[in-house]
Structure 1
């Protein structure tokens, strides 16, 4: 098998020059560089990435920590991150925490030992104590996506959840609905509380008092959306429209409504959040707030690479604006109420 000495002999240069060409650590003339590359091709020589990483202290790899979830939103964001990493010549090392602090700690320790150049983190705030245990993390570029650890030393890329909740509610109000409920995400998570705040602001501006019984907390999964809808259907007076704080809970809510004999949107209009790929194929297709997931991933990688390269940035927070996708799960209020 060819080695660096054979490449140097073939190109008529020193092994030091070959090393500088490979690692781009010193100026080498175009003619000499081309001779080295030609020799490498002729000898089918591939430089050791491990050896290079030890020399230049870079591995061209990025770690990403994400909470495993049935929510395809995460998979769609990861796909965007992976695509952009590939375009930039970086490998992505992915760790699914499954919501467990011990698993998160294990993955983080492994990624740091493998000398990743930076970290992307997209998992619940409940993991904050895990990050506090790792002093190494303080010297590594870190970008948080959607929600996660909070620190002045890391960058945050997130959608404007308040505005998304506001847009969803304004859409229902514009259709003539005033009896509007909300299935929220878990209040401990910032996006959930922000989306609910946007809902409440829109209702307040419309001069409508929200029925506290029509605000039900879920956990961002289908089962909690189903259970929240069941609680709403048990109320003596029911809403004619719902803002549901993510698409997975909206799917569960629609299933519960269907089993109760309701027709969407004739009996109940529903707006979701995220615009996952499945949303447009639901029955009926789901009106939802679109999070630009590809853009979220691209911005996160771009900011992380800027930090890795030592670039100065103006601030440590980037907000991505959501927009409304109108489909067939919402309709004008025509004086109907959910059957009692």
Structure 2
């Protein structure tokens, strides 16, 4: 087995210099770093992570807390984190927000993570719980919608990565208006994490642009408030069973849009000639849907990259600031000019 001393001898440096390079010390010259890294590569040396953790008091292990593994949205964020983490010798773990908040806080602490990205605001966490996590040596970044303003999330202390939907939702609704749409259904999913922000802006701009804001066209989810394809399918069947006079459906996310599309086809209707469909998130499946799904793009990969970069700075003792990113409206083939309502509802 190749040891640290073997690397030092091969590179012509001291064992302490090898340790400094492995620990990312800023006090080693670029020339020595290159020699040590070349020796590590040529000898195939694998550092002892446990020993390194004891010496540095870091585990080189971070996590991302997610509400579900069924939505590719969170996988793309994790990929973004991993793209940065691997270049710094870090491992990224997915942690499910299952059970009580105390339970998943305990799971984070038990894993001895250096940091964690809370991908959807606070998951019901309190400042007291976040402080407990921080006191255990776990740095954290809070993610979520910038428009969310309820008292619980607004008072959480900590750096955030948020996404602004204001402009993209306005652009989406203006596009629908120009195509003649007046009555639009919204599948809210009633997800306590994200429904409020998106629904508030949709209702705000639809009112400003003169749409018919019929509360009967807003379909809320049922407990446990999942927002998967089957939920979009079920909620769209509820809408269509009432023969509501609408020409477009906006869903809380792309997965719900896929379910809505299935229900529309089963009803013998065409997308987009009879009913237009718009999703949210722009997950990788949306471009290959049939027809390709019009949606609002969330910079998921970039969110993951920035989250990892901020965590690395915090782990090194640096102060970081909150960051707000922009979403964008993506026009594809699932939207067409509005059909006359009497043709849809006869």
State the TM bucket, normalised to the shorter chain: 0.7 to 0.9
* 8 Å contact from structure 2 (residues 187, 232) kept in 1: yes
With normalisation by structure 2, the TM-score equals: 0.82
- 1:181 paired residue number: 185
- 2:74 paired residue number: 74
CA deviation string 1:97-156 (max 9, x = no partner): 4566576245313322xxx22111225754426982872434432012337994643222
**1:202 has 2:202 as partner:** no
- Provide structure 2 residue ranges, at least 5 long, that are not aligned to the other structure: none
Report which of the two structures shows the higher radius of gyration computed on alpha carbons: 1
- 1:339 paired residue number: 345
- Provide structure 1 residue ranges, at least 5 long, that are not aligned to the other structure: none
- 1:245 paired residue number: 252
* 8 Å contact from structure 2 (residues 126, 156) kept in 1: no
- 2:332 paired residue number: 327
Deviation at residue 177 of structure 1 after TM alignment: 0.6
Structure 1 residues 240-249 or 16-25, which shifts more?
Answer: 16-25
Q: Within 2, Cα distance between the matches of 1:338 and 1:99?
A: 44
Q: Within 2, Cα distance between the matches of 1:304 and 1:178?
A: 45
**1:300 has 2:310 as partner:** no
**1:256 has 2:263 as partner:** yes
**1:310 has 2:310 as partner:** no
- Change over 3 Å in CA distance of 1:182–1:332 after alignment to 2: same
Structure 1 residues 244-253 or 326-335, which shifts more?
Answer: 326-335
Alignment RMSD: 3.3
* 8 Å contact from structure 2 (residues 133, 139) kept in 1: no
* 8 Å contact from structure 1 (residues 165, 194) kept in 2: no
- Change over 3 Å in CA distance of 1:123–1:104 after alignment to 2: farther
With normalisation by structure 1, the TM-score equals: 0.83
SS of the residue corresponding to residue 202 of structure 1 reads helix
- 2:115 paired residue number: 118
Deviation at residue 68 of structure 1 after TM alignment: 2.3
- Change over 3 Å in CA distance of 1:262–1:153 after alignment to 2: same
Q: Within 1, Cα distance between the matches of 2:232 and 2:130?
A: 35
